[in-house]
Amino acid sequence: MTPQDFLRIAADNKDRPFLIVPDRRQTLTFGEFHDAALGLACRLQEEGLRRGDRVVALLTNSPEYAILYFAALYMGATVVTANPSLHVRDVHFVIRNSGAKLLVYGEETKHFVLGPSAPADPIRRWLMPRLNEPLFRIPWGSHPWKPLDGATPADILTIVFTSGTTAFPKAVAHRTTSLLGNAAAFNAAMGIGPADRFLHLLPMAYSGGFFNALLSPYAAGASVVLTPGFGARTALDFWKVPSENGVNALWLTPAILSALLKVDRDETGKAWCRKNIRKVFVGMGPLHLSVKRDFEKAYGVEVLESYGLSETLLLAANAPGASVEGSVGRLLPGVELRARGEDGRDLPTGSEGEFFVRTPHLMAGYLDAETSRVVAPQGEWFPTGDAGSVDAAGQVRITGRMKDLIIRGGLNISPVAVENILLRHDAVASVAVVGVPHAVTGEDVAAVIKLKPGRDWAAERPSLEAFCKTEIAAASRPAVLLCREELPIGPTGKVLKRELRDWAAAQASPR
């Protein structure tokens, strides 16, 4: 899909609903959404923004945030994301190193940029207007400039600061053509089209919230029901918004699946889900097999796991009606994947190694914090950092992150494999397996466990130890069992294993 193909979507679907915003009792058709993006683009040009310039988006989920992405696309500008759920230190880091000309903020985020604690960076600040203001209303066909005029394949649409595992967030830049091409490939493989209506509850400051749940549905002519995001209150009454707004497709994370299994007691909602939800896509993190099975049993809907990285976008996915348990699916068209050993050589089919990928949708590069320039990746094959295998049938299986692999006495141990086994124990609500230092073997295996409500650690520990002896091979068996009331979770719903490693190492006795 080219940017010009993308423009035709608004014309072909002009009067069909695209963005439904229940909190505001507001619906925008494709034509109205397109016009609003044109209006905002005109206003941003008045603020001095030009093709190739960057604008920092410091916003919470809202129709205005969605429109900003499209306004930037139309005028050839770049949106740099600053997630307000990050620490204020990290938000200021993003602003300071963005290389942006303009900072757009909202009423909910003005405390980051106004007042005595605001950074003194020489960047112009602009308060995002509300959707009901006149600048968003340009009648169809009357805008004073041509969107995408002068567009090139080199145009960068997004620079997304990820939650990552580094000291500060890292920034991944993607071209418009890569984003649109990957969206088209995924939509075609998954059969997504105008009949689909997605529930949007992922943070727009990350790829999942913009690319998976907004851009891809738009590219397919599908519609989106926008919510502020997922939280404790959302989970307790999860099915109200979907049932009242005709939702039939979901993009969720493994953390959201787990949360719903724990707190959703709405049997009416579950019955509605079985009858009305046709597609549940899950990504943005590893999905434990037990969570997948439990969710499918409780809600009567197939869970379609996918695989991708911020740097590569979506690489593989399970198609509706063809998902394979334990697999993240088949590769999307145009994507090549190889498993390599420590010597860098390709491994035989079915062998486990580090994944290297070649894809037409690879990022433009990382943002260099010192120069604010985008540095292109080196080499033809991109190292994913993930460990796994591809079988003879083309099914892709992930066993863990290479950096998360535990090397005990020269033996590679997959934390995900151990976690999947421990989750079968009746007392375990969630678990994270990490490596801790060991004087002889280099590393040892530690399992950090969150118990189900009402369970006592002292009472359950003997049972867990016996379970490990019978269910986990000695080479992979945890030597350290620890309990926490909560596992640390980052803004994208992923367990912060770096934090857990440090905590577990401090708790474990020196050996």
344-367: per-residue pLDDT in tens?
899 999 998 999 999 999 999 999
Q: What is the DSSP letter of 145?
A: S
**Residue type, position 246, single letter:** G
Q: For every residue of 163-217, which 3-state class applies, written as one string?
A: CCCCCCCCEEEEEHHHHHHHHHHHHHHHCCCCCCEEEECCCCCCHHHHHHHHHHH
Instruction: Report yes or no on 442 lying in a domain.
Output: yes
User: How many domains does the chain fold into?
Assistant: 1
Q: Which long-range contacts (CB under 8 A, 24 or more apart) does 239-244 make?
A: 239/264, 239/266, 239/268, 239/269, 239/270, 239/272, 239/273, 240/269, 241/22, 241/199, 242/199, 242/272, 242/273, 242/276, 242/277, 243/269, 243/272, 243/276, 244/22
**How many other CB atoms are found less than 10 A from the CB of residue 118?**
15
Distance CA(135)–CA(129), nearest Å, equals: 8
Asked if the model's pLDDT at residue 25 lies above 60, the reply is yes
Q: Which domain holds residue 458?
A: 406-507
Q: What is the mean pLDDT of the segment spanning 357-378?
A: 93
Helix 3-12 crosses helix 176-190 at what angle (to 10 degrees)?
60
On the 0-12 / 13-18 / 19+ scale of CB atoms within 10 A, 239 is buried
Instruction: Report yes or no on 283 lying in a domain.
Output: no
Q: Would you state the structure tokens that stand for residue 430, as one six-digit string? A: 């969630």
Query: Are residues 201 and 487 in contact, defined by beta-carbon separation less than 8 angstroms?
Result: no
Distance CA(410)–CA(404), nearest Å, equals: 15
Distance CA(340)–CA(414), nearest Å, equals: 16
Q: What is the mean pLDDT of the segment spanning 435-440?
A: 80
Instruction: Report yes or no on 397 lying in a domain.
Output: no
Residue 291: helix, strand or coil by DSSP? helix
Strands 279-282 and 303-309: parallel
**Element at 431 (helix H, strand E):** strand 428-438
What are the φ and ψ backbone dihedral angles of 126, each rounded to 5 degrees? -145, 125
Query: Are residues 48 and 14 in contact, defined by beta-carbon separation less than 8 angstroms?
Result: no
Instruction: Report yes or no on 435 lying in a domain.
Output: yes
Instruction: Report yes or no on 130 lying in a domain.
Output: no
Q: Would you state the structure tokens that stand for residue 132, as one six-digit string? A: 């009901």
Q: Would you state the structure tokens that stand for residue 346, as one six-digit string? A: 């390709």
Task: Band the pLDDT of 509: cuts 50, 70, 90.
Answer: low
386-406: per-residue pLDDT in tens?
989 999 999 999 887 777 778
310-321: per-residue pLDDT in tens?
999 999 999 999
Distance CA(85)–CA(87), nearest Å, equals: 7
Q: Comparing C-alpha atoms, which of 110, 160, 157, 145 is closest to residue 40?
A: 145
Alpha carbon distance, N-terminus to C-terminus of the chain: 57
Q: What is the pTM of this model?
A: 0.81
CATH classification at residue 423: 3.30.300.30
Please spell the DSSP secondary structure of 217-264, one letter per residue.
HHHTT-EEEE-S---HHHHHTTTHHHHHTT--EEEE-HHHHHHHHHH-
Question: In the chain, helix, strand, coil percent, each to 5?
Answer: 30, 25, 40
Instruction: Report yes or no on 451 lying in a domain.
Output: yes
Distance CA(58)–CA(157), nearest Å, equals: 16
pLDDT confidence of residue 381: 96
Asked if the model's pLDDT at residue 85 lies above 90, the reply is no
Please spell the DSSP secondary structure of 81-120, one letter per residue.
E--TTS-HHHHHHHHHHS--SEEEE-GGGGGGTSSTTS--
Residue 33: helix, strand or coil by DSSP? helix
- Report the share of the chain in percent with pLDDT over 90: 63
Instruction: Report yes or no on 463 lying in a domain.
Output: yes
Q: Highest-confidence range of 168-172, 231-235, 316-320, 400-404, by mean pLDDT?
A: 316-320
Distance CA(152)–CA(176), nearest Å, equals: 9
Higher pLDDT, 167 or 239: 239
Task: Band the pLDDT of 252: cuts 50, 70, 90.
Answer: very high
Q: Please identify which residue in the block is written with the tokens 């892709």.
A: 396
Q: Would you state the structure tokens that stand for residue 461, as one six-digit string? A: 């520990």
Q: What is the DSSP letter of 442?
A: E
405-433: per-residue pLDDT in tens?
787 765 668 788 899 899 999 999 999 99
Task: Band the pLDDT of 164: cuts 50, 70, 90.
Answer: very low
Distance CA(496)–CA(29), nearest Å, equals: 39
